[in-house]
Structure 1
Amino acid sequence: MKLFLDSFWRAAAYCLMPRVILLSLLPLALMVALGLGLGYFYWEPAVAWTHEALNGWPLLAGFWAWLQGLFSADVRDMLAPLVVVLALTPLVVLASLVVVAAFMAPALTRLVASRRFTSLELKKGASFVFSVARSLGLTALAVLALLVSMPLWLIPPLVLVLPPLIWGWLTFKVMAFDALAEHASAEERQTLMREHRLQLLAIGVLCGYLGAAPSIVWASGLLFAAAFFVLVPLAIWIYTVVFAFSALWFAHYALDALAQLRAARVALSLNGEPPPPAAALPSGDSNAPIPPAAP
Structure 2
Amino acid sequence: MTPVFEALSRAFRDMFQFQVLWIIIWPILAAGLLWLILGVAFWNTFSVWIASGLTAIGIQTWLEGVEPRWIAYGIQGIAHLILFVPLVFVTALVITALFAMPALIRLVAIRDYPSLARKNGGGFAGSVLNALLALAIFIAIWVVTFPLWLIGVGVIIPFVATAYLNQRLFRYDALAEHASREEMQAIFSTQRPSLWVLGLLTGLMQFIPFINLVAPVLAALAFIHFGLFRLSELRGLEAGP
Q: TM-score, structure 2 length as denominator?
A: 0.87
Displacement, 1:195? 1.3
- For this pair of structures, how many residues does the alignment match? 241
1:126-167 per-residue CA deviation (whole Å, 9 max, x = no partner) reads 1221121221122122122223333423444532x1112111
Alignment partner, residue 72 of structure 2: 76
Alignment partner, residue 40 of structure 2: 40
Alignment partner, residue 222 of structure 1: none
The 1-side partners of 2:24 and 2:162 are apart by 19
The 1-side partners of 2:38 and 2:197 are apart by 35
Alignment partner, residue 251 of structure 1: 224
Instruction: Report the CA distance shift for 1:156/1:209 in structure 2 as closer, same or farther (over 3 A).
Output: farther
Which residue type is aligned with residue 84 of structure 2?
Answer: L
Unaligned 5+ residue runs, structure 2?
A: none
The 2-side partners of 1:61 and 1:255 are apart by 50
Alignment partner, residue 24 of structure 2: 24
Which residue type is aligned with residue 241 of structure 1?
Answer: V
Alignment partner, residue 120 of structure 2: 124
* 1:189-204 pair list within 5 angstroms: 189-204=184-199
Superposed CA RMSD in Å reads: 2.7
Displacement, 1:18? 1.4
SS in 2 for 1:184: coil
Unaligned 5+ residue runs, structure 1?
A: 215-234, 264-289
Aligned: 1:94 with 2:90 = yes
Q: Is the 8 A contact 1:124 1:183 kept in 2?
A: yes
Displacement, 1:250? 0.8
The 2-side partners of 1:58 and 1:3 are apart by 43
Q: Is the 8 A contact 1:175 1:250 kept in 2?
A: yes
1:45-75 per-residue CA deviation (whole Å, 9 max, x = no partner) reads 257536864897795587458x74xx64464
The 2-side partners of 1:192 and 1:98 are apart by 22
1:66-121 per-residue CA deviation (whole Å, 9 max, x = no partner) reads x74xx644643222112222222332232122101101123212211011111101
Instruction: Report the CA distance shift for 1:172/1:86 in structure 2 as closer, same or farther (over 3 A).
Output: same
The 2-side partners of 1:257 and 1:109 are apart by 15
Alignment partner, residue 49 of structure 1: 48
SS in 2 for 1:40: helix
The 1-side partners of 2:100 and 2:131 are apart by 13
Q: Is the 8 A contact 1:124 1:182 kept in 2?
A: yes
Displacement, 1:37? 1.8
1:204-229 per-residue CA deviation (whole Å, 9 max, x = no partner) reads 01112211344xxxxxxxxxxxxxxx
Alignment partner, residue 144 of structure 2: 148
The 2-side partners of 1:251 and 1:56 are apart by 43
The 1-side partners of 2:55 and 2:150 are apart by 20
Which residue type is aligned with residue 244 of structure 1?
Answer: V
Q: TM-score, structure 1 length as denominator?
A: 0.72
Identity, % of aligned pairs?
29
Alignment partner, residue 5 of structure 1: 5
Instruction: Report the CA distance shift for 1:59/1:180 in structure 2 as closer, same or farther (over 3 A).
Output: closer
1:6-38 per-residue CA deviation (whole Å, 9 max, x = no partner) reads 211111110111111111122233223323322
Which residue type is aligned with residue 212 of structure 1?
Answer: F
